């Protein structure tokens, strides 16, 4: 059970977490074998902590660390193709201090944005099990409670979108996930004022095929910045009756 504390102590507990033996074993095996291109790297090989601004009004929520990306570098979306696509967009949208992310020591600073994931350990085939998703949900719940200025969550991929909705149900913001449909650019305002924006994940599978272009992702983060000007959402601590969701407010449409 996650306790109270600061984002720094939360990250320390995430890094020390051993709740998912399959994932911990997989990460260690990846780190042992390495990829030839990273033969001189000492892989991080721990759960990857969240990264960015403690006063963030926008949270970018991903799926999980990449085996040779974050599991190697120890920082979210750093050191693989997904990050190489994401960080230039965050820089262009004014959230990141530089467009390139190569290591934990590259000087990157995020402003107004925090990056996390629904699973903090790299899963085989990028597919966490339902139990692993449940295990890791405690960290998302705590992070959302600690981010008191949060206004917008950009869900990078369907699993992150589902993870946010599950969080909203667990914390009493929603009574049902019915009616929430994942589509790139779709926006939903949750009871309490938090706005969810769905986006395709910047995986190579999506970016190499043109399913997700730089312009599409930039539009999502520019929209997030615009929406983040509003008042912070209510904290998720109090369970209460939830009204029906307001669907696809100013939706960008399905693409
Ligand atoms: S995936 Fe999450 S819950 Fe599972 S071991 Fe990693 S940090 Fe812990």
Ligand 1 mean position, distance from CA 54 (Å): 21
Ligand 1 mean position, distance from CA 154 (Å): 21
For residue 235, the model assigns a pLDDT of: 64
Spatial neighbors of 82 by CB under 8 A, at least 6 apart, are 62, 66, 69, 201, 202, 203, 204, 207
Whether 17 lines ligand 1, by a CB cut-off of 6 Å, is yes
Whether 20 lines ligand 1, by a CB cut-off of 6 Å, is yes
Spatial neighbors of 27 by CB under 8 A, at least 6 apart, are 45, 46, 67, 71, 121, 122
pTM for this model (two decimals) = 0.91
- Residue 128 CA: nearest ligand 1 atom is 1
Ligand 1 mean position, distance from CA 2 (Å): 12
- Class of residue 28 by CB neighbours under 10 A (exposed 0-12, middle 13-18, buried 19+): middle
- Residue 64 CA: nearest ligand 1 atom is 1
Per residue of the chain (255 residues), give pLDDT as tens.
444 579 999 999 999 999 999 999 999 999 999 998 998 999 999 999 999 999 999 999 999 999 999 999 999 999 999 999 999 999 999 999 999 999 999 999 999 999 999 999 999 999 999 999 999 999 999 999 999 999 999 999 999 999 999 999 999 999 999 999 999 999 999 999 999 999 999 999 999 999 999 999 999 999 999 999 977 777 654 333 333 344 445 333 332
Q: Do 255 and 213 touch, CB atoms closer than 8 A?
A: no
Q: Do 193 and 235 touch, CB atoms closer than 8 A?
A: no
Q: Do 72 and 165 touch, CB atoms closer than 8 A?
A: no
Whether 136 lines ligand 1, by a CB cut-off of 6 Å, is yes
DSSP strands (E only) in the chain: 51-52, 58-62, 113-117, 152-156, 187-189, 195-199
Whether 23 lines ligand 1, by a CB cut-off of 6 Å, is yes
Instruction: Estimate the share of the chain in helix, then strand, then coil, as percent rounded to the nearest 5.
Output: 35, 10, 55
Whether 135 lines ligand 1, by a CB cut-off of 6 Å, is yes
d(C-alpha 213, C-alpha 116), whole Å: 22
Whether 65 lines ligand 1, by a CB cut-off of 6 Å, is no
For residue 253, the model assigns a pLDDT of: 32
Ligand 1 mean position, distance from CA 43 (Å): 17
Whether 10 lines ligand 1, by a CB cut-off of 6 Å, is no
For residue 236, the model assigns a pLDDT of: 52
Whether 133 lines ligand 1, by a CB cut-off of 6 Å, is no
Ligand 1 mean position, distance from CA 9 (Å): 16
């Amino acid at each position: 059970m996650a306790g109270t504390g600061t984002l720094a102590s939360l990250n320390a507990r995430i890094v020390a977490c051993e709740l998912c033996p399959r994932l911990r074993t997989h990460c260690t095996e990846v780190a042992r074998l390495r990829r030839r291109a990273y033969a001189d790297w000492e892989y991080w090989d721990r759960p990857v902590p969240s990264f960015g601004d403690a006063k963030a009004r926008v949270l970018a929520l991903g799926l999980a660390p990449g085996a040779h990306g974050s599991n190697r570098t120890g920082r979210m979306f750093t050191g693989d193709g997904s990050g190489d696509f994401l960080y230039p967009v965050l820089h262009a949208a004014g959230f990141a201090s530089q467009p390139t992310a190569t290591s934990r020591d590259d000087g990157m600073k995020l402003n107004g944005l925090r990056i996390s994931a629904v699973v903090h350990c790299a899963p085989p085939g990028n597919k966490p099990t339902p139990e692993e998703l449940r295990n890791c949900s405690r960290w998302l719940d705590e992070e959302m409670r600690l981010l008191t200025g949060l206004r917008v969550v950009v869900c990078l991929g369907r699993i992150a979108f589902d993870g946010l909705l599950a969080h909203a149900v667990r914390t009493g913001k929603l009574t049902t996930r019915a009616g929430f449909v994942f589509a790139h650019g779709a926006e939903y305002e949750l009871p309490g004022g938090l706005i969810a924006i769905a986006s395709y994940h910047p995986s190579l599978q999506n970016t190499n095929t043109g399913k997700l272009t730089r312009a599409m992702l930039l539009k999502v983060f520019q929209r997030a910045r615009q929406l983040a000007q509003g008042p912070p959402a209510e904290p998720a601590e109090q369970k209460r009756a939830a009204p029906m969701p307001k669907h696809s407010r100013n939706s960008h449409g399905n693409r």
